[in-house]
Amino acid sequence: MRASWDEYFMEIVEVVKTRSTCLRRQVGAVIVKDNRIITTGYNGAPSHLKHCTELGGCERQRLGVPSGQRHELCRALHAEQNAIIQAAKLGNTTEGATLYVNIQPCVICAKMLINAGIVRVVYKGEYPDPMASAMLEEAGIETVNINEK
């Protein structure tokens, strides 16, 4: 049976996330426009900086910070952020695009997605950030939990 476009791109997300260097959660993102991949991203430290694995662990874990809180203490960029940044570096517009990601975006990423012109977000894992969901809805961005299809 042939995969739908959403299924196809979510499978690619699963491969992209394997590049993640985060010790807490592997996240992958793919930005797509007209059924063509514009860019990908995964969560990890900025280019040319040491990853948490090289520094002996995760600062947020060491401090006991719950998931979804105190993002500023994290050394890594989120997958969505890296995908948007890569699109900008390559000169690819994200206006009108769809983001595929294995975890529902946080509020920081939601704000970036809104301003990047993303019109649809397809995800499969829940994330404890109701403000992010509310902002995406207020902005008119379609969100699809692929597990509920």
For strand 36-42 and strand 98-103, is the pairing parallel, antiparallel, or unpaired? unpaired
Q: Residues 119, 98: contact at Cβ < 8 Å?
A: yes
Q: Which residues are catalytic?
A: 80
Q: Which tens digit of pLDDT belongs to each residue from 33-43?
A: 999 999 999 99
Q: Which tens digit of pLDDT belongs to each residue from 54-113?
A: 888 888 888 888 877 787 778 889 999 999 999 999 999 999 999 999 999 999 999 999
Both structure tokens of 36: 């063509």
Both structure tokens of 5: 């476009």
Q: Cα dist. 96→35, 63, 101, 134 in Å?
A: 12, 39, 16, 20
Coil/strand/helix, residue 99: strand
Looking at residue 22, what is its pLDDT? 85
| Distance (Å, whole) CA 81 – CA 79 | 5
More confident residue, 49 or 148: 49
Looking at residue 149, what is its pLDDT? 64
Closest CA to 71 of 102, 17, 111: 111
Mean pLDDT, residues 121-134 taken together: 91
107-115 and 130-138 helices cross at what angle (nearest 10)?
20
Mean pLDDT, residues 10-23 taken together: 94
- 69 has which bridge partners? none
Q: Which tens digit of pLDDT belongs to each residue from 98-119?
A: 999 999 999 999 999 999 999 9
| Distance (Å, whole) CA 39 – CA 37 | 6
Q: Give the contacts of 11 (CB within 8 A, at least 6 positions apart).
A: 3
pTM flag (> 0.75): yes
Q: Residues 56, 48: contact at Cβ < 8 Å?
A: no
